[in-house]
Structure 1
Amino acid sequence: MNNKVSDKDKWKKIVGIMVFVSLLLSIVYATVKIIYAPAGTSSEMYEKVRSDYVLMLLQCILGIVVMAIPSIVEKKASIDIPNNMEIMYFIFLYCAIYLGEVRNFYYLIPNWDTILHAFSGAMLGALGFSLVSFLNDSEHTHIDLSPFFVALFAFCFALASGAVWEIYEFLADEILATNMQKYMLADGTILVGHAALMDTMEDFIVDSLSSLAVTIAGYYSIKNKKPQN
């Protein structure tokens, strides 16, 4: 048992270091590129301009900051987040920021953004379950939530997290003139109306469906474990 735990800790550290180094090197790369990259909009899909590297730099810095969240939560709230979930979290950051922004997978791989939102929705739903289940089973709290309310919390937690991310994308677009919400085409054409909302609403829908699938599975898992009166 101790060997299994130590192996998981070791893999968590290895994955964490790999992601951290990748993001740190990307920060240096993006900073240099910002100095020499042309301003304005790109005339070709894969040609990056200054605003693209600003977004890359912002994403990499944010990635390093949020990597510390699981450790902070565990220390401050005395919650033991499963190592497997932390490893998946680090892998998601690597896929979303390093592969997506730095290696340009958002353009090279069809539906890369949709795949990541499906993954994040499911992961956040599972995290919501872990948090409320910890409180539900803790000896220091006096709550006994039904499986339905545990599932409802996990689902709402995932949706709220997705909403915070969309707010972050909107603010980044407004303040730093990026294009995270894909309201502008590669040639600089500004989308309006329904077309401008497509990316954001698609993200919300994918987040909702993936988190709903996880919370339904979690609901039946908890329900089957509860003693029947």
Structure 2
Amino acid sequence: MLTKLKGLGIAQWIAIFIFVSMGISMIFITVEIFLAPVEQTPGQPKVTLRSDYIFLLFECVLGVIILLLPTILSHRFKFEIPGLVYILFLIFLYASIYLGTVQKFYSTVPHWDKILHTFSGAMLGAIGFSFVNLLNNDKHVVMKMKPGFISVFAFCFAVTLGAFWEIYEYTFDGLMGLNMQRYNLSNGTPLAGRAALADTMGDIIVDVVGSLVFVLIGYWALKKGRPWMINFEFKKKQPKEGGAK
């Protein structure tokens, strides 16, 4: 057991740390679900309601599932995740779900939401780049895609997932009375017109900027054959010698 632990890399230790953080948070949140009030008392200071804790629990469970997803997919489809991409993914997961939602960084740290959207745009652009490059390097794929096509796909991939995230926020704002899209002020006053759209459009814009910056760098690197792009490449797992075919 100790030998296995010593063999873990930095990415695995980060993943374990996030898993433990989420697990401890889920225990405390579950307790708070039974203790928290169901409704806000009129005229009293705003408190965290039971529905808020239910959403926090949902976010933590979702975070654990997303945490395990890369490992499951890599085993299922026989590919290796680049260490740098995996570490960036783990940092984003921890910063968005644990720090952002559980520790309330979204409401207490200025521009935390926009920073993460910019970061996620670049990260998703890198993942989109890597997946297409994986196909490009596959000997079973006859057609070889040019850097321009790979770049356009990576950009569209990142922006599309950013749009799906906004749909997720809109859906749960409606179902659970949340304010993830910032259509209300902190005191509950509803915004109107362009002001109500500012947060959502700002998120989409920084998603586009983050992904575009990485895609342009990636396009230039592919055209020039820069070796550092190898750090972002997914690779097919090679069968072990003497293993079953």
TM-score by length of 1: 0.88
CA contact (8 A) 1:106 1:113 kept: yes
1:160 is the counterpart of 2:180: no
CA contact (8 A) 1:41 1:188 kept: no
1:25 is the counterpart of 2:40: no
Q: 1:185 to 1:167 in 2, by over 3 A?
A: same
CA contact (8 A) 1:41 1:186 kept: no
Gaps of 5+ in 1: 1-5
Q: 1:27 to 1:37 in 2, by over 3 A?
A: same
2:140 counterpart SS class: coil
Cα drift, residue 142 of structure 1: 1.2
2: CA distance between counterparts of 1:201 and 1:44? 31
Q: 1:7 to 1:44 in 2, by over 3 A?
A: farther
Pair member with larger Rg = 2
1:86 is the counterpart of 2:89: no
Matched to 1:88, the amino acid is: L
Matched to 2:75, the amino acid is: K
Matched to 1:36, the amino acid is: L
Greater fraction of residues in helix: 1
Equivalent residue, structure 2, for 1:200: 200
Equivalences, count? 220
TM-score by length of 2: 0.83
Equivalent residue, structure 2, for 1:224: 224
CA contact (8 A) 1:44 1:187 kept: no
1:175 is the counterpart of 2:170: no
Matched to 2:176, the amino acid is: L
1:48 counterpart SS class: coil
Matched to 2:36, the amino acid is: A
Q: 1:90 to 1:197 in 2, by over 3 A?
A: same
Q: 1:195 to 1:50 in 2, by over 3 A?
A: farther
Cα drift, residue 58 of structure 1: 1.8
1: CA distance between counterparts of 2:54 and 2:180? 11
Moved more, 200-209 or 189-198: 189-198
Matched to 2:76, the amino acid is: K
Cα drift, residue 140 of structure 1: 1.7
Q: In the TM superposition, what whole-angstrom CA distance separates every residue of 1:154-180 from its partner, at most 9, and x where no partner exists? A: 000101111111111111112222222
Cα drift, residue 38 of structure 1: 2.9
2: CA distance between counterparts of 1:156 and 1:165? 14
Cα drift, residue 82 of structure 1: 0.3
1:154 counterpart SS class: helix
Cα drift, residue 104 of structure 1: 1.6
Gaps of 5+ in 2: 227-245
Cα drift, residue 41 of structure 1: 5.5
Identity %: 43
